[in-house]
Chains A and B, each alone.
Chain A
Amino acid sequence: MEEAISPECDGDTIIRFREVTKVYPLPGGDVVALDGVSLDIGKGEFIAIMGPSGSGKSTLLNLMGCLDTPTSGTLCIKGRNIHGMSDEDLTILRRDYLGFIFQQFNLLPLLTALENVQYPLILKTGSRECLVQCRDVLKAMDLDEALYSHKPSELSGGQQQRVAIARSLVNDPEILLADEPTGNLDTRTGAAIMHLLADLNRNRGKTIIMVTHDPTIAEYAHRVIRIVDGKIT
């Protein structure tokens, strides 16, 4: 799915919003989740998105994650205009260039920690031949080897999030999207996870966009984007 870089998306920024509007048609009346949002995110940035509930921050993250497309405006991810992309192409984008980290970890319950990490790679290459690579990623997440064969139900919250981060990294994406990554963790574990993310950003050059409501967590970011009522403030 290698497309030429669209002319309106130059290669400087890794994520670009230009007058992006997202409207959800509901029976009770259309909901404008995003209203003419424009922003640029450069490679290697660590961004925190903050705003009250209903502000549109989830929508913003969903669009960045190619889980949805704008109603109007231009959205460029890694130089590609995602307007008009098929579901198949968007899915490949997500598989290869994006990593997702969720508040609730969202590991597959029937797979072991290692198998969870292997999953995206198998999606990409069709084979399980990643044992070394996958183990290395888990190791880098400071996860005890003995836990690799454990199912998520046998892991603590912090351990699950480490596995989830490892999973998000296995296809070596440039962009990591985190939705309240420490929301289900205690302060200490949360801090450890944030250190991990900061390290990924600083030493591995990952662009990280994180939605959070916690100002202390937002401190780890270079920049904070505030959104209220669908508009960037």
Chain B
Amino acid sequence: MPENADDLDEALERIRGRVEERREAGDYPPGLEQQLDRHYHHILKGFDAEVEAITALRLAVANLRAQSEFDLSRIDTWSGNPIKRLLLRIIGKLTIRQARGVLAQVQQFSDALDEVLASLVPMIESLAGSGTEGGGRDRSDLEKRLHTALDRIGLLEERLDRSLEASDDRSV
């Protein structure tokens, strides 16, 4: 096994010293690491497949949100070939109006979709909860609301398709 370089050994000593200092100063209260570990395992034990799916859904919605800021600057126009690069820039300038129009529509759609998803996630969470507690009537009511929300997404998608088609026609 290769030996650590001296600077790494020294760094390790400083790290050890600082952990001790913080423990002594009470910045790291006694048992903090064990408490954090117990907390994690408590969460882990409480996870069943349904909760796991909801967390994954929440993560997916958060990821979707993070990617839903549409901007012209996100369209890559760089190329290793200078002629292609110039051509891409010219095309970008010529079609900037259309690109902005499409982006505005996509942003509008994304905002509406975000609203729908934001209302769906707690609904699905309650559905999962009512499933485990046997809340049949609540569940049926929530299912109706869920279907309504899904219908709304379908309508929004149709509207977006129509707008994009119209925009294509105009640009042609």
Q: Do A and B bind each other?
A: no
- B residues contacting A by CB (< 8 A) are none
- A residues contacting B by CB (< 8 A) are none
